[in-house]
Structure 1
Amino acid sequence: MTLTAETPRSDLSTLRALSRLLPFAKPVLPRLVLGAVSALIASLLALSIPLVLEGVVAGPISSGDLAQIAWGAAAILGLGLAEALMVWLRRWFVLGPATGVEYSLRQSFYARLQRLPVAFHDRWQSGQLLSRMMQDMSMLRRWMAFGVVLLVVNVLTILVGTVLLFRWHWLLGTIFLVTSAPLWYAGYRFEKTYGTLARQSQDQAGDLATSVEESVHGIRVLKAFGRGKHALQKFTRQAETLRETELSKARAVGAIWFWLVLLPDIAFALCLGAGIYLVQLGQLQTAELIAFFAMGTVLRWPMESIGFLFSFMLDARTATDRIFEVFDEENTITSPDRPVSIERPRGELSFEGVHFRYQDAAPTERDLLDGVDLTLRPGETMALVGLTGSGKTTLTTLPTRLYDVTGGRVTLDGVDVRDLDLVELRRHIGMAFEDATLFSQTVRENVLLGREDLQPGSAEAERVLREALGVAQASFVDDLPHGVDTIIGEEGMSLSGGQRQRLALARAVAARPAVLVLDDPLSALDVDTEALVEDALREVLHATTALVVAHRPSTVTLADRVALLEAGRVTAVGTHSELLRTSEHYRHVISSLEVEEARLREREVNL
């Protein structure tokens, strides 16, 4: 899914959208409430200082009683220290819980990504997911620890302070209130503008992260073709778009700040003029006027902070929308409520009238797999051959339910794979892909990835590891700096393509599944190494059902039988010699594979 700046926000109100965080915040809600109470007490202490100041000015200062002035100053100092203590308590109460909520949210988000089907990851850019997991969740942590508490407390402070302003004279309170009223309209306009810009900014940041990730992963291709400048130009355009959006956000914030600063100043000026006039009339005491302006000064920061906190809330709302877009994605590939269990699978794999089409396929397009019927007998090795685009790789993704069939069914020992628990299914059926993906872990951890049943460091784990490496002809690992405990780096890019494929094959072999699906796992190997691997695989496959996608004639020799896939259907099944004798299309496919293999051998000789 490619998200753009035009991606709309959810239809929920801001408060309802943010309320979706409550299940994650519920365990720490008491401490967050205590933090808010501490902040509110701090604000009330600040509001009480002008009241004490009024008494000091009206009494000790007017009478010149120095002892009473000292007591008044001490009272104000005490209130200030108490306010500082409450501010410290507020931070102590909220910082730990906020990081806990972030941790819980991030764990749930990652778990959700693991459960969502491959079709979801086909549609979504990895940079968009990364920006949601890191940038958006960090923003929510800061908002919960700081923004939401101060927003609630400052709004309450403004309301209480405004009521107290009427204590000295109704006219002064009315002037202050009426002059500040346009702020609410400005805030309404601000939400509409800033909310859209915040969504654009965060989506564009995700697009930018995707570009960086693609450039880093594809750095060899960019360098090989001298396209670094082209990639930089594309990145610059995206960065400039993000920059313009951020400037628009800054202008929107600047506009609200203009009114937040200007209107209180206008209110102060009008109140000062009215206050002096009321003092002259004898309707207001000087001490009361001083206290009024002290109260207005206390309210100045809460009023000025509203714009920043409001924009912070809208950023948090946008982050919440973006995160829950992933949580709201439907998971179409799940374990059944009452799964069937196969304790000792025989390994019979059948495709019965299988149809499949990708979600983005046009309605007029035929199914990519258009009624596949194929049965692999227990312990049999079946080679799958066909021209490019015939659906071979797609067919290999269906037994483990990386994708679900759109028609027909796939069975293991007569049981529909959709009736099996996903964990059990993927324990019984293992895969090795042509595009070998390794993780930033040790060789040992990569090869034993599918063997959770083995105790790390045990003799059995070492035996399985060595057997799998031997089958894959991966003895090169012993020459690595730390042998099988060498961390091979991100996606194994420090290894050659053939080395990565051999480790991926070793991983599939180590899993010891009842059915092994191999999607051309030897394509990056040289011919001599491939022959050694094939000899070792024969020993492994004699007791394992295997479906092998073959792109070389030499791979076909591994198989007991061969299935010919043509235009989404299996049109012939038999031994290699039988199909050569009876199928013209098979002869055409094999000849094209032989040409490709001859080119490969010629390239190896030239190297």
Structure 2
Amino acid sequence: MIDAFAPADTAPPRSLWRFILWSARGAWPVLLLAAAISALVGTTEVVSAMLMGWIIDAVVETGPEGFFGQHLGLIAGFVLFFVILRPLAFGLSSAANAIVVQPNVYVLVQSRLNRWTLGQPVTFFDNDFAGRIAQKQVQTARALTEVANETINTMAFALASIIGSVVLLLTIDLRIAFALAVWLVGYLALIRYFLPKVRKSAGARAGARAQVSGQVVDTITNIKTVKLFAHAEFEDRAALNAMGIFRNRAIEFGEVQALFRFWLMVVAGVLPVLLIGGTIWLWTIGAATPGGIAAAGAVAIRIAQMTGWVSFVLMAIYGNLGEIEDGMKTLTPAPDLTDAPDATDLGRVSGEIRFDGVDFAYGRRTGGVTDMSLHVAAGEKIGIVGASGAGKSTLVALLLRLYDVEGGRITLDGHDIRALTQESLRRNIAMVTQETAMFNRSAFENIRYGRADATREQVEAAARAAEAHDFIVDLQDHEGRKGYDAHLGERGVRLSGGQRQRIALARAFLKNAPVLVLDEATSALDSEVEAAVQSALEPLMEGKTVLAIAHRLSTIAQLDRIIVLDDGHIIEQGSHDELLAKGGTYARFWERQSGGFLGTE
């Protein structure tokens, strides 16, 4: 009844109620139907009191001798209602919420938030904790589901019960119905005063809780560094500080909650006194029957009980609204790097690349690259050399459009990359970085990430080409999975640095994109394996445009051209032999090599 995976057709709004409408769009007809069923169940409470009143009046009127003979229809209706109709109504309402609403709304909201988050640029993730972002998704989806569920399950039920109670009391006496209306005004005034406080303190508590999650996940993610630097105590203090802030926010929320509950019980206690006492007074003057007293008493007790329940639920709803607002602030900012409205979905390219007067300094005045102009012909293989901070990785990040240039332009086969869809741009570029990224999935899945439709044979062929097959077949994880089915652990923790890079190389082999970027791709390999991988790279690079960043100059000496960067500028370019003959910066780098490694002087 609800398409739980339906995408949203617009960006998430940044105001609360519009955000809620956006999150559950497509589910509203079902939510309204579930609310109508809940309201129907609410009316059964009033019918229960009404039937009780009729039964008592019938008993008083006929006495014990003739009761069953004269009121057989009333008794049958009483039994039918309580044994069959009322349970059916409650069962239907429960099924609507537990089977239709809760499972689907949660998935609908989280799928939309996750899809939106995946569209954020790299800077969005650079500026936050991974754990905190994940926590906000879960928190917001759960809170919104709870709001929908409780609104249907409680508020529609309660509203129908109260409206039905007013109607029932009107049949007894207008004055007793008016007394209920006056009480409702006081009850709503109490709610109006407390619930904004609940919402505010709940939002603060949610923010503090997410900060704890972010801190803990950040520590666990970098646990090896924590151990190596003997900083367990330092990380414990940081976590305790975040937990202390959360504890304070939770206490503040608890104080508001306790005060609200106290006054709520005071107001709830007034209602039975008001309705039962009022109806007894009406009976003493002949304006009400004993059945009327029973019906009014049943309504009063039920509403008084329901008052605590409803108010507790309202407090939970407002608390969840605070959590939704808190999550909304984190998750809904519009990406600052997006596809153009008429972006081209580019097919396979030949691989010609141009940097035309490119400026980029990460929003600062210095750093990055300045007035960078570079032409790389299709199929040309160039090496990029320079000391740390010279702009090598910036050049590659701009080509992949992880950031937008601040000046100039970059073209691929003559197309400004800002006019291409990001997906089609990156489909044409395979990249192996120094810091290899691994998923906590099987070796097979990590390699097949290069091409999602690859067969087992193709994956194994790529692994062999990257000199990875031999160590993969010997893998075994903690659950006993072996070889290509063994999971690699979070961020590939079960592998050595060289093994991770060979998995990443296999992934690039499998992708077989026309442009290949190698950012220190063999830096973690020993000399013997590096020589084997270099031999394997030759057929991979055949016919492709290659940009290879290297500190170890021996890995790029045979490329068509080498460019030397310094402080964001190209200061030298040419073949290996030409640059050595110049006796400039590259020649000094070559002379300083020790074991083939370039220093950063």
TM > 0.5: yes
Contact 1:447/1:503 (8 A) holds in 2:
yes
Identify if the C-alpha distance between structure 1 residues 278 and 347 changes in structure 2 by more than 3 Å, giving closer, same or farther. closer
Contact 1:473/1:533 (8 A) holds in 2:
no
Aligned residue runs from structure 1 range 555-574, under 5 A: 555-574=555-574
1:115 corresponds to: 119
Cα distance in 2, alignment partners of residues 583 and 249 from structure 1: 71
1:91 corresponds to: 94
Match of 1:243 among 242, 247, 250: 247
Point out where structure 1 has 5 or more consecutive residues left out of the alignment.
1-9, 601-607
Q: Secondary structure, in 3 states, of the residue corresponding to 1:445? A: helix
Contact 1:350/1:375 (8 A) holds in 2:
yes
1:479 aligned onto 2:474: yes
Aligned residue runs from structure 1 range 39-58, under 5 A: 39-58=38-57
Aligned residue runs from structure 1 range 298-309, under 5 A: 298-309=302-313
2:156 corresponds to: 152
Aligned residue runs from structure 1 range 437-452, under 5 A: 437-452=437-452
1:332 aligned onto 2:337: yes
Identify if the C-alpha distance between structure 1 residues 527 and 336 changes in structure 2 by more than 3 Å, giving closer, same or farther. farther
1:222 aligned onto 2:226: yes
Cα drift, residue 517 of structure 1: 0.7
1:605 corresponds to: none
RMSD in angstroms over aligned alpha carbons?
Answer: 2.9
Contact 1:520/1:551 (8 A) holds in 2:
yes
2:104 corresponds to: 100
1:394 corresponds to: 394
Cα drift, residue 275 of structure 1: 4.1
Aligned residue runs from structure 1 range 349-498, under 5 A: 349-358=353-362, 361-362=363-364, 365-366=365-366, 368-454=368-454, 456-457=455-456, 459=457, 461-462=458-459, 465-472=460-467, 475-481=470-476, 482-498=482-498
Residue-by-residue CA offset, 1:403-428 (whole Å, 9 max, x unaligned): 22222122222222233343332222
Q: Secondary structure, in 3 states, of the residue corresponding to 1:156? A: helix
Which residue identity is paired with 2:486? T
2:352 corresponds to: 348
Residue-by-residue CA offset, 1:73-130 (whole Å, 9 max, x unaligned): 6544433332222111012123333212322333333332333222222223212221
2:269 corresponds to: 265
Cα drift, residue 505 of structure 1: 1.6
Cα distance in 2, alignment partners of residues 118 and 598 from structure 1: 29
Which residue identity is paired with 1:339? T
Cα drift, residue 472 of structure 1: 4.4
Which residue identity is paired with 2:209? A
Cα distance in 1, alignment partners of residues 132 and 162 from structure 2: 39
Contact 1:552/1:594 (8 A) holds in 2:
no
Which residue identity is paired with 2:60? I
Cα distance in 2, alignment partners of residues 250 and 319 from structure 1: 16
1:5 corresponds to: none
Contact 1:474/1:502 (8 A) holds in 2:
no
Cα drift, residue 563 of structure 1: 1.0
Match of 2:22 among 20, 23, 31: 20
Contact 1:127/1:208 (8 A) holds in 2:
no
Residue-by-residue CA offset, 1:369-413 (whole Å, 9 max, x unaligned): 211111223332211112222221121112222222222122222
Residue-by-residue CA offset, 1:546-605 (whole Å, 9 max, x unaligned): 1111122323324322111111122221123433443644455556664893999xxxxx
1:68 aligned onto 2:67: yes
Cα drift, residue 507 of structure 1: 1.1
Cα drift, residue 175 of structure 1: 3.5
Cα drift, residue 49 of structure 1: 2.1
Cα distance in 1, alignment partners of residues 50 and 241 from structure 2: 57
Which residue identity is paired with 1:332? L
Q: Secondary structure, in 3 states, of the residue corresponding to 1:403? A: coil
Q: Secondary structure, in 3 states, of the residue corresponding to 1:479? A: coil
Cα distance in 1, alignment partners of residues 141 and 253 from structure 2: 20
Cα distance in 2, alignment partners of residues 386 and 451 from structure 1: 32
Identify if the C-alpha distance between structure 1 residues 401 and 179 changes in structure 2 by more than 3 Å, giving closer, same or farther. same
Which residue identity is paired with 1:211? Q
Larger mean Cα displacement after TM superposition, 61-70 or 80-89: 61-70
Larger mean Cα displacement after TM superposition, 580-589 or 227-236: 580-589
Residue-by-residue CA offset, 1:308-349 (whole Å, 9 max, x unaligned): 222232244345445555345236232662516454x33222
Normalised to the residue count of structure 2, the TM-score between the two structures is 0.87
Contact 1:372/1:569 (8 A) holds in 2:
yes
1:518 corresponds to: 518
Contact 2:385/2:392 (8 A) holds in 1:
yes
Cα drift, residue 513 of structure 1: 1.4
1:603 corresponds to: none
Identify if the C-alpha distance between structure 1 residues 173 and 466 changes in structure 2 by more than 3 Å, giving closer, same or farther. same
Identify if the C-alpha distance between structure 1 residues 442 and 335 changes in structure 2 by more than 3 Å, giving closer, same or farther. farther
Q: Secondary structure, in 3 states, of the residue corresponding to 1:181? A: helix
Point out where structure 2 has 5 or more consecutive residues left out of the alignment.
1-12, 477-481
Cα drift, residue 512 of structure 1: 1.3
Contact 2:23/2:108 (8 A) holds in 1:
no
Contact 1:560/1:575 (8 A) holds in 2:
yes
1:546 aligned onto 2:546: yes
2:291 corresponds to: 287
Identify if the C-alpha distance between structure 1 residues 108 and 277 changes in structure 2 by more than 3 Å, giving closer, same or farther. closer
1:168 corresponds to: 172
Normalised to the residue count of structure 1, the TM-score between the two structures is 0.86
Show structure 1 runs of 4+ deviating over 6 A.
none
Cα drift, residue 355 of structure 1: 1.5
Match of 2:217 among 195, 213, 216: 213
1:3 corresponds to: none
Aligned residue runs from structure 1 range 578-593, under 5 A: 578-582=578-582, 584-587=584-587, 589-590=589-590
Residue-by-residue CA offset, 1:183-234 (whole Å, 9 max, x unaligned): 2222222232122222222222222222222222211111222222222222
1:297 corresponds to: 301
Match of 2:236 among 221, 232, 239: 232
Cα drift, residue 453 of structure 1: 4.8
1:78 corresponds to: 80
Contact 1:380/1:545 (8 A) holds in 2:
yes
Residue-by-residue CA offset, 1:218-267 (whole Å, 9 max, x unaligned): 11111222222222222122223223322322332222222222112123
Cα distance in 2, alignment partners of residues 340 and 100 from structure 1: 33
Cα distance in 2, alignment partners of residues 529 and 171 from structure 1: 93
Aligned residues: 577
